[in-house]
Amino acid sequence: MIDTRRSFLGGMTGVVVGGMTGVVVGGLTYPASAAASTRKLRPLMATVMSGSDAYWQLVAGQFPVRQGKIMLNAANLCPSPRTVSEQVAQLTRDEDSDVSFPNRAKFNDLLQQSREKIAALINVSQDEVALVRNTSEANNTINNGVPLQAGDEVVLWEQNHPCNNVAWDVRAARFGFTIKRVSVPAAPKSADELIKPFEAAVSPRTKVISITHVSNTSGIRLPAGEIFAAARQRNADIYCHLDGAQTWGYLKLDLKRIGCDSYAASAHKWFMGPKQAGLLYVRQERIAWLWPNIVSVGYGRGAETTAKGARKFEALGQRDDAGLAAMGTAADFHNLIGLENVEAHTTELATALKQGLSKVNRVNLVTPMDHTLSGGVTVFSIAGMDRKQTAAFVDDLYTKYGIAGAPTGGVRLCPHTYNTRGDIEQTLRAVRQLLA
């Protein structure tokens, strides 16, 4: 039996060995489940051209996606490669087998290794990184941590996620500061069209600008660095926060270049990491200034807290030690594939998807075609369909064709590292057939 979705070009074929999917390279068979697949991944990748179809077929084979299913739901939840899920399972069994302090001491080192690896991925200091539970918690840490009072202003993008939008409304109701929501053109033609509305919203009273890097509802990508620079031209002391839920694990990020004061993201989305784990970056100069959202064991006092850096935001009580350790494993996986390769491949697939959808009758792209104004999130509407009918269309994509997307007012499809060109072609055929 041949698994065509995970078959390999250039002399590599997919097979099933002992009930497990495997790969044949040069006459040798490697099982694609259990640790053997990831242990053999590096030498296997050396046998194919980086970025080729064979390369991405090999990468796709590292994910336990069921045969016949196409996962295009990265904006909500990504599968983890086996190397990550196996690390979580192995370390969970280890901890459950001996919950003593001596046995669990190793998790402190594993946590620190995860922090160091993640800091390197985004070009920041490890002391500026807190490993929290998800984007919502990270955003709310900033929301509750910035000192604000009546008369102050906070500038938001209307397309922010509720944890970076409604959360500010709740706090404003308590403390009396003003919220300004910024709209951008539905079909932006240039970065300037996205920068100027935010620049115009900033006043001498503006204390915070909090935006989303890529919208989960439209797929529009804001030029965050340029927006923050323009805001600081009008108000040098403004605090700049960036919600990166839809970019961490997709873009090769340099947070120093972007110039944000803080950045929030989840490991379970494009980073393809463990669940209930996330990232909060806080620029060194802002750490002491921000109040913590949660205080528990490990927070410390006085100079002890200051010495912790961004770790002061990790005093969250008992955590999933195995999940935190596996964040470092996910970082290793990204480094093995190559951050540039991940970004280029995902952008290529999203572009092919948009180009194909633009030729389908009744389909109207919501996401800009220009990849500099968009990301991996692709959203489209269907003429003549209301929200309920659109949700039914998304359900049909899965039940009839095995394609997992999401209804967001429109139809949202998000390809990523584990997808191939063949997945996009199958998806376009399915959309055309459903609308025929």
Indicate the domain borders of the chain: 1-61, 63-79+338-436, 90-334
**315 vs 430, higher pLDDT:** 430
The yes or no reply on domain 90-334 and CATH 3.40.640.10 is yes
Task: Using DSSP, state whether 127 is helix, strand or coil.
Answer: helix
pLDDT(14) > 70: no
* Distance from C-alpha of 380 to C-alpha of 410, rounded to nearest angstrom: 5
Please give the structure tokens belonging to residue 287: 């750490």
In contact, 366 and 412? CB cutoff 8 Å: no
Instruction: Show the 3-state SS of 41-98.
Output: HHHHHCCCCCCCHHHHHHHHCCCCCCCCCEECECCCCCCCCHHHHHHHHHHHHHHHHC
Residue 415 has pLDDT above 50, yes or no: yes
426/415 Cα distance (integer angstroms):
12
pLDDT band at 340 (very low <50, low <70, confident <90, very high): very high
β strands within 151-205, DSSP E: 153-157, 178-182
Q: What is the pLDDT of residues 290-301, one digit of tens each?
A: 999 999 988 877
Q: Architecture of domain 63-79+338-436 in CATH? A: Alpha-Beta Complex (3.90)
The predicted model scores a pTM of: 0.90
Answer left, alpha or beta for residue 384, where phi above 0 means left and psi between -120 and 50 means alpha. left
Sequence-separated (6 or more) residues with CB below 8 Å from residue 326: 80, 84, 85, 87, 88, 91, 114, 273, 274, 277
Residue 300 in 3-state DSSP?
A: coil
Q: Which of 21-25, 167-171, 174-178 has the lowest mean pLDDT?
A: 21-25
- CA dist 128 and 289 (Å) reads 13
User: What is the band of 334 on the pLDDT scale with cuts at 50, 70, 90?
Assistant: very high
pLDDT at 39: 64
What does DSSP say about strands 12-17 and 20-25: parallel, antiparallel, or unpaired?
antiparallel
* Interval 189-209: pLDDT, tens: 999 999 999 999 999 999 999
Structure tokens given for 45: 């990748």
Residue whose C-alpha is closest to residue 409's, from 263, 200, 215? 215
